[in-house]
Amino acid sequence: MTLALTEPVNRSILLLDIENYSRRDDVEQSFLRRGLHSLVEDALAAAGVESNMQYREDRGDGLIILVSADVPKTVLLRSLLVTVPDSLRAYNRMASSSAKMRLRMVLASGEVAFDSYHGTVGGLVGHDLNQSCRLLDAEVLREALRQRDEDCVLCVSAPVYHGVVRHGHRGLPAADFHHVEVAVKNDRLEAWLHGPLPHGTSAAEPASARPREGSPEVARETGDSGAARPSAPSRPDSDGIRITVEGSSLSFGGSLVGGDQTGVSGGHVTGDVVLGSVRHASSGGLE
């Protein structure tokens, strides 16, 4: 017996995943799971998220948490940046070396529907949720956690960055977030990583900052036909040397050769090479 698909609703999407979970034995995994649930309780309570304002789905090595759109994303972010690291430090102080916890976290937002099936649990459906899960699994996020001393790393989706982070709300300096692009199947996702980028990763220019096709910036570069316009001739450097050859100018150290040029560009040249215009006395004309 199937149940009807609910109408999609907008939710904050919080995803957490424990690093190297599958390398632990059953006892250690159980200990980690209890620690993660306790940590999440603290984080959501700090953000003022009541039990009726959230949905949690256990993923074994992590959690999917949907939070009501009534909860400001600013308070969720502050909790993820302050409460979660504090709770992790307290947990890891008491945990054995084999049960220490490190987390990858993603905060996104989007439309999510519920499509449950009788006798099963779960059943979340939504493109935005799928993209968020791919972001959580991105190599740049894994590598950032591997390279850092901290026990957790956070990435936010483009809607969360543009709608919240970039405005510099209290306790959320936008300069602490760095743009990354994540390859997922046949697409690329934009996201913003909190903290320094992993070594070997360069910051990508946000798509929103690039000229769009048909925009005035692109039109000025390509013209109405869309073909690239030739660039203007480069001018001689101010410290180049210019001499006059038969009334024409020749510049060394710059890029201007004036008048007629006869010869071969590049390679090995034999014979005469003429720069400038040459006057023959017999004809009185110019060649």
Q: What is the pLDDT of residues 243-282, one digit of tens each?
A: 555 555 554 454 444 555 555 455 555 555 555 544 444 4
Tens digits of residue pLDDT in 172-205: 999 999 999 988 777 789 999 999 999 877 666 6
Tens digits of residue pLDDT in 33-60: 999 999 999 999 999 999 999 999 998 8
Confidence of residue 1 (pLDDT cuts 50, 70, 90): very low
pLDDT value for 286? 43
Average pLDDT, the chain: 80
The residue among 100, 103, 55 whose CA lies nearest residue 80 is 103
Q: Are 200 and 159 in contact (CB under 8 A)?
A: no
**Secondary structure class of 140 (helix, strand, coil):** helix
For the chain, the domains span: 9-218, 232-287
The token pair that represents 136 in the structure block: 């959580």
Confidence of residue 228 (pLDDT cuts 50, 70, 90): very low
CATH code for the structural domain at 9-218: 3.30.70.1230
The token pair that represents 274 in the structure block: 């003429």
List, in sequence order, the alpha helices (H) in the chain. Answer: 26-46, 73-78, 84-94, 127-136, 139-147, 158-163, 216-222
**Secondary structure class of 52 (helix, strand, coil):** helix
Q: Give the whole-angstrom CA distance, residue 135 versus residue 109.
A: 12
- Which phi-psi region, left, alpha or beta, contains residue 222 (left: φ > 0; alpha: ψ -120 to 50)? alpha
Q: What are phi and psi of 75, to 5 degrees?
A: -75, -30
State the DSSP string of 207-258.
GGGSPPTTSHHHHHHH-TT-PPPPPPPPPPPTT-EEEEETTEEEEESSS-B-
